[in-house]
C-alpha cells in the first residue's frame, strides 16, 4: 500500500514537472529570452546566440524549477500561477525588501513573492521570482580594451532615481582575470582612483581560464571555469539594480568556503547562514557583527580539487554584502559604479597575485621594522620612555623600536611636543639611535583649529593653502578629536599632500623620527558629522543605509556632504586612510631618502603599497587572541603582509599567562608590537615573573634568529605578490582538512606555527598536513598522513615545525637588528624522504630604496641533496661582505655521518643525535658571499 502511494506520488510529481517545463518553454519562446555565449579565447569573433534550455542559462537542469520562472504578473498579463513562480527553496531566496519591512501587499506590488516563515533571521519573506524584469542586453561591439554593450531598462524598478540605461564594458585583462564595468553613460559618477595608479599585468592573454555567457532579458551573466565547466558566478538568479544611491548585484557561489570581505571580527571562513557584512570604515574596537576600521570588497572561494577564484568590487562607497547558504552572495553599494574583477587562479596563491596585479604589490619594509616594537598610551614623559627602554635592555629583551602615543604632543596637537614633559624629545631620540634603536610616534590627521592665530603653523598654513575638507556650505568643516575642535586635511588634494610633507619636514628637523603611526584616520570624529551638525540630505540619510555601528553613515566620522577635491566624503570616506598613507609614505620617502615605515589603522585596497596595518583596539582576552589569527591572515589576502595585533591586548588588563601566550603568537605576526591603553596594568615583558620573562625572551630570540627568513618572505611578497603569513589551504589546496583551519598558520611554505590559544592549556591538538614535519626546537620528526596530533605545549613553548624539503636561513639573535645583522648565519635544513631540500636568502642593506629594482642586493639559493648542502649565488653585492656561515642543522639524516666536509676540508665540530636524526655542524666560518658546500659522509 505504501509502495503504491509512493509510485502514485512520483507519477504526479513527474507530470507536474513535465507540464511546468512545457509551460516554461512556451513562455521563453514568447518572451524571446536568449543566452549569448562568449568564449574569451575567441574574442572578436562573431557572438552567436546559444541554445536556450529549461533551466538557468548554463546552470544544471535540477535547478530550473527554482530559478527559471516567469516574470511577475504585475508586469505581464500572461504568466505562471503565483504559487508556481514563487516556489523557490528558502536558501535560494533573494531579498526584494532590503530597504524595509514590507507586508504582503507592498511586496507583491513590487512584483515579488511573499512567503513568511518562523525564522526571523533567516530567508527573506519578500523575495524575487525568477526572471524578474530588469535590464535588456543590446548587441556587443568591440572597444579598444574589449567589448561593450548597452543595457536598457524599459520598466523602472522600485528604487528612487533609477538609472534606465547602463554601459557595460567587458575587458579581458589577462588569461586569468575578467573585468566588467557597469556605468551610467548619461552622468559621470565617482570611480576609485588608486593614489599611485593601477599596475598593469604583463600576461599574454592566451589560454583563457574562463568562458562567459549572457542572458539578454532580463540581463545576467555567467562565468565558468573553462577547464571543468564549473560555474564561478551566475548573476541571472536575481535582478541587477542600478539607481543613484543603490547598486545591487547578486550571484551564486561555487562553494561555501568563502574568505575575505574585511575588516570584520570573523573566522577565516565566513558564515553563509544569512549574514550581512558592512564595509564602512569606522573607529570601532573589534567585536562581532560590526563594521571595523577597514573596507576590502574582495573575497576568495575555495573550489574542488585545489582550485580557487576571487572576486573584487572596486567601489569605495558604503557596501553591504549578504551571504546566504545557497551558496550565494549579494553586493549592495550606495554609490559609484559596479567595477568587478574576477580572478580565476587557478590556485589560491595565484588568485592573490592576480588581485595584487590590480591593486598593487606591497612595499618592501625596512629590516628593522621586523624586530620587536614597544608602545603604550601612558608613557607620559621622555624620562619614563627612557626608563622603559633601559629596563628592556637590562632584562636583555630584544627590541628595535620604541614608540610614543599622543602623550608626547603639546595639548595633544600633532607636529608639536610638550615643552615640559617632552622638552628633550629630540635628545631622547638621538640617544635611541646611538643604541641601535628606532623611534616612532603617533600622527593623527585632525589638526587643532582653536590655537591663537600665528601660534600653530600646521593650522595657519593649512588655512592659507586651502587644504582642509569643507562642509556643504563651503566653510572648513570642524569636528572634534583629541585636541578638541579640529579640521581634517583633504589628502585627495595635491596641495594638501605638499602641505603635509612640509609639516612632517619641519617636525623631523627637530625630532628625527624613523617612521609614523597614522591613527584615527577613518577619519574618527568624537561628534557626529561636525560641531555644527550635518545638513538634511540624501547623502547624510540615503534611501538605504546598511547596518553600521551608530546607525548612520556619519556616526563617529564627518558629514557625508563634506566636500573634498575629488568628490563628496560620501564617496571618499573609505579611502581616507589610504590617501593619508600615500601622502605620509611619499613625504617620508622624499624627506629621509630611505624606506618609509608607516602604520595605519584605516585601510582600503592598495594600502599595502604604502603602509602596514594593525588590527586596532583589541581586548586583552583569550577570544581576541584567537581571532587575531584570521584577522592577520585576511590582511595577507588584501595585499598587506606587514600586519599584526596589539600583543597582550590593548583594552583591559592582561594576565601573565595570556601575555606569555600572546607574545609567543605575536612573535609570528609579520609585524610585532606590544601596545597598551593608559589606564591598564603594565604589560611590558619585564614586569612579569621570572618564568614568564624567560618564555618571552626565548620566543623573541627565536623571532630574531628567523629574521633573515622573514625578510626573504617579504622580498617575495614585494616582488611576486606571495603571502608571508599564510593559511594552510593556500599551501595545501588539495587537502580538505586544511580548508577550514584558522588557529594555525604558515610562514611562507616552510614553517607551521601552532600556538596555544586557550587558558590553562599545556598541550594542544594541532593539524599537520601530509608529509614530514620537524620540530624547529629539536628536529624531532613527525610523519603525518594529514592528521591531528597532540603536542606538548608548556608555558615556555610554542610549537613550530619545519616542513620537509625546505631550508631556512637564520642568524644568531641579538638585542637589536643593528647588531643581529652582523652575526653569523646558520641554516636549518629539513630533508625530504628523498634527502632533498631547498631554500633562499634575499639580502641588502635593509633600508635603502628600490634595491631590487636597482640590482643592489644579494640573492642566494641553498640546495640539499646527495648528503650535502650547496649554496649558489645568483646575485651579489657588498652587503654580504664579511658575513659568515657559522653552522647548520640538518633534520632527517638517516644515520650517523662518518665525517663532515666543508668545501672539501674535514670539520671537527659536529654532533649527531640518533633519536631525532639531527646533524648539527658548528664553527664553519664560511663566507656567505662565496659558494660553499657542506657534505656529510654516511
List active site positions.
519, 522
| Residue (of 310, 376, 317) closest to 343 by Cα position | 310
CA distance 521 to 459: 18
| Residue (of 305, 351, 349, 348) closest to 734 by Cα position | 305
Q: What is the CA radius of gyration of the chain?
A: 30
DSSP states of 595-617 as a string?
Answer: ---EEESSB-TTGGGT-EEE--S
Contact 371, 398 (CB under 8 A): yes
Three-state secondary-structure class, residue 805: coil
**How far lies 481's CA from each of 289, 369, 531, 831, in Å?**
25, 29, 11, 56
- Number of residues assigned to the chain: 938
| Residue (of 409, 601, 594, 428) closest to 486 by Cα position | 409
Which residue's C-alpha cell is 637589536? 816
**How far lies 216's CA from each of 150, 222, 633, 853, in Å?**
11, 12, 40, 48
Residue 414, Cβ density class (10 Å: 0-12 exposed, 13-18 middle, ≥19 buried):
buried
**How far lies 106's CA from each of 100, 267, 460, 767, 801, in Å?**
11, 38, 56, 52, 60
Contact 427, 442 (CB under 8 A): no
* DSSP H helical ranges for 408-456: 425-434
Contact 920, 887 (CB under 8 A): yes
C-alpha cell at 369: 621594522
Compute the Cα dihedral for 45, 49, 50, 55 and give only its sign.
Answer: positive
Give pairs for 474-480: CB < 8 Å, separation 24+: 474/563, 476/449, 477/530, 477/558, 477/559, 477/562, 478/449, 478/530, 478/531, 478/532, 479/446, 479/523, 479/525, 479/526, 479/527, 479/529, 479/530, 479/531, 479/558, 480/525, 480/526, 480/527, 480/531
| Residue (of 575, 558, 669) closest to 294 by Cα position | 575
**How remote is the C-alpha of 135 from its chain's centroid?**
34
Amino acid at each position: 500500500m505504501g509502495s503504491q502511494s509512493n509510485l502514485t506520488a512520483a507519477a504526479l510529481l513527474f507530470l507536474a514537472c513535465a507540464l511546468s517545463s512545457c509551460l516554461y518553454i512556451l513562455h521563453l519562446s514568447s518572451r524571446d529570452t536568449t543566452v549569448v555565449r562568449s568564449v574569451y579565447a575567441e574574442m572578436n569573433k562573431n557572438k552567436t546566440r546559444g541554445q536556450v534550455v529549461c533551466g538557468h542559462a548554463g546552470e544544471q537542469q535540477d535547478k530550473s524549477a527554482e530559478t527559471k520562472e516567469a516574470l511577475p504578473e504585475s508586469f505581464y498579463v500572461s504568466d505562471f500561477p503565483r504559487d508556481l513562480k514563487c516556489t523557490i527553496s528558502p536558501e535560494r531566496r533573494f531579498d526584494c525588501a532590503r530597504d524595509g519591512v514590507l507586508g504582503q501587499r507592498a511586496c507583491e506590488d513590487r512584483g515579488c513573492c511573499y512567503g513568511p516563515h518562523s525564522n526571523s533571521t533567516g530567508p527573506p519573506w519578500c523575495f524575487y521570482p525568477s526572471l524578474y524584469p530588469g535590464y535588456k542586453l543590446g548587441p556587443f561591439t568591440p572597444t579598444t580594451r574589449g567589448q561593450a554593450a548597452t543595457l536598457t531598462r524599459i520598466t523602472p524598478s522600485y528604487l528612487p532615481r533609477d538609472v534606465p540605461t547602463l554601459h557595460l564594458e567587458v575587458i579581458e585583462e589577462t588569461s586569468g582575470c575578467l573585468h566588467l564595468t557597469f556605468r551610467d553613460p548619461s552622468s559621470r559618477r565617482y570611480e576609485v582612483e588608486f593614489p599611485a595608479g593601477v599596475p598593469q599585468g604583463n600576461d599574454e592573454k592566451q589560454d583563457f581560464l574562463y568562458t562567459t555567457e549572457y542572458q539578454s532579458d532580463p540581463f545576467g551573466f555567467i562565468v565558468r571555469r573553462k577547464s571543468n565547466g564549473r560555474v564561478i558566478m551566475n548573476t541571472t538568479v536575481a535582478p541587477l539594480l542600478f539607481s543613484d544611491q543603490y547598486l545591487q548585484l547578486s550571484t551564486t557561489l561555487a562553494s561555501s568556503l568563502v574568505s575575505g570581505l574585511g575588516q570584520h571580527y570573523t573566522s577565516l571562513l565566513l558564515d553563509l547562514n544569512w549574514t550581512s557584512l558592512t564595509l564602512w570604515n569606522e573607529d570601532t574596537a573589534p567585536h562581532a557583527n560590526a563594521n571595523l576600521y577597514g573596507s576590502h570588497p574582495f573575497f576568495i572561494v575555495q573550489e574542488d580539487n585545489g582550485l580557487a577564484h576571487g572576486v573584487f568590487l572596486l567601489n569605495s562607497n558604503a557596501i553591504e554584502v549578504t551571504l546566504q547558504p545557497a551558496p550565494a552572495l549579494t553586493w549592495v553599494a550606495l554609490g559609484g559604479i559596479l567595477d568587478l574583477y574576477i580572478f580565476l587562479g587557478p590556485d589560491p596563491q595565484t588568485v592573490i597575485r592576480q588581485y595584487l596585479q590590480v591593486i598593487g604589490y606591497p612595499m618592501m619594509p625596512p629590516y628593522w621594522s621586523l624586530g620587536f616594537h614597544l608602545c603604550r598610551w601612558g608613557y607620559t614623559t621622555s624620562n619614563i620612555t627612557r626608563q622603559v627602554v633601559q629596563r628592556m635592555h637590562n632584562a636583555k629583551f630584544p627590541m628595535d623600536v620604541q614608540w610614543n602615543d599622543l602623550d608626547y604632543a603639546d595639548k595633544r596637537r600633532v607636529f608639536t611636543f610638550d615643552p615640559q614633559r617632552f622638552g628633550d624629545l629630540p635628545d631622547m631620540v638621538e640617544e635611541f639611535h646611538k643604541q641601535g634603536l628606532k623611534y616612532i610616534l603617533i600622527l593623527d590627521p585632525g589638526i587643532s583649529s582653536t590655537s591663537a592665530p600665528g601660534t600653530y603653523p600646521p593650522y595657519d598654513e593649512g588655512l592659507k593653502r586651502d587644504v582642509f575638507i569643507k562642509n556643504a556650505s563651503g566653510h572648513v568643516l570642524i569636528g572634534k578629536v583629541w585636541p578638541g575642535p579640529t579640521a581634517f586635511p583633504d589628502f585627495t588634494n595635491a596641495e594638501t599632500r605638499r602641505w603635509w610633507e612640509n609639516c612632517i619636514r619641519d617636525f623631523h628637523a627637530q625630532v628625527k623620527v624613523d617612521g609614523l603611526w597614522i591613527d584615527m584616520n577613518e577619519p574618527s570624529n568624537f561628534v557626529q558629522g561636525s560641531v555644527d551638525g550635518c545638513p538634511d540630505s540624501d547623502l547624510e540619510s540615503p534611501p538605504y543605509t546598511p547596518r553600521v555601528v551608530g546607525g548612520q553613515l556619519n556616526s563617529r566620522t564627518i558629514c557625508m556632504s563634506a566636500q573634498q577635491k575629488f568628490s563628496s566624503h560620501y564617496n571618499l570616506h573609505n579611502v581616507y586612510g589610504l590617501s593619508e598613507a600615500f601622502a605620509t609614505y611619499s613625504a617620508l620617502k622624499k624627506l629621509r631618502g630611505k624606506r618609509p615605515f608607516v602604520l595605519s589603522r584605516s585601510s582600503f585596497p592598495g594600502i599595502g603599497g604604502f603602509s602596514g596595518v594593525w588590527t586596532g583596539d583589541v581586548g586583552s582576552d583569550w577570544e581576541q587572541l584567537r581571532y587575531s589569527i584570521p584577522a592577520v591572515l585576511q590582511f595577507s589576502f588584501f595585499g598587506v603582509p606587514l600586519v599584526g595585533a596589539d600583543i597582550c591586548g590593548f583594552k583591559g588588563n592582561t594576565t601573565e599567562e595570556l601575555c606569555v601566550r600572546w607574545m609567543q603568537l605575536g612573535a609570528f605576526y609579520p609585524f610585532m608590537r606590544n601596545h597598551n591603553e593608559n589606564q591598564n596594568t603594565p604589560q611590558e615583558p619585564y614586569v612579569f615573573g621570572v618564568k614568564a620573562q624567560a618564555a618571552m625572551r626565548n620566543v623573541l630570540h627565536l623571532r630574531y634568529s628567523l629574521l633573515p627568513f622573514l625578510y626573504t618572505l617579504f622580498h617575495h611578497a614585494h616582488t611576486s605578490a606571495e603571502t608571508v603569513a599564510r593559511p594552510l589551504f593556500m599551501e595545501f589546496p588539495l587537502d580538505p582538512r586544511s580548508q577550514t583551519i584558522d588557529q594555525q598558520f604558515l610562514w611562507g611554505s616552510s614553517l607551521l606555527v601552532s600556538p596555544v590559544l586557550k587558558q590553562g592549556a599545556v598541550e594542544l591538538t594541532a593539524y599537520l598536513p601530509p608529509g614530514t614535519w620537524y620540530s624547529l626546537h629539536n628536529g624531532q620528526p613527525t610523519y603525518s598522513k594529514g592528521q591531528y596530533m597532540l603536542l606538548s605545549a608548556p608555558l615556555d613553548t610554542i610549537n613550530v615545525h619545519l616542513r620537509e624539503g625546505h631550508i631556512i636561513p637564520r642568524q644568531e639573535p641579538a638585542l637589536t637588528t643593528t647588531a643581529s645583522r652582523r652575526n653569523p648565519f646558520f641554516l636549518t635544513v629539513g630533508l625530504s624522504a628523498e634527502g632533498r631540500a631547498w631554500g633562499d636568502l634575499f639580502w641588502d642593506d635593509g633600508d635603502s630604496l628600490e634595491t631590487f629594482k636597482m640590482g643592489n642586493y644579494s640573492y642566494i639559493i641553498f640546495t640539499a641533496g646527495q648528503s650535502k648542502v650547496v649554496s649558489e649565488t645568483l646575485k651579489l653585492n657588498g652587503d654580504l661582505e664579511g658575513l659568515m656561515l657559522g653552522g647548520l642543522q640538518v633534520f632527517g639524516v638517516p644515520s650517523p655521518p662518518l665525517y663532515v666536509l666543508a668545501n672539501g676540508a674535514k670539520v671537527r665540530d659536529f654532533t649527531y643525535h640518533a633519536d631525532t636524526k639531527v646533524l648539527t655542524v658548528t664553527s664553519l666560518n664560511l663566507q656567505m658571499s662565496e659558494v660553499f658546500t657542506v657534505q656529510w659522509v654516511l
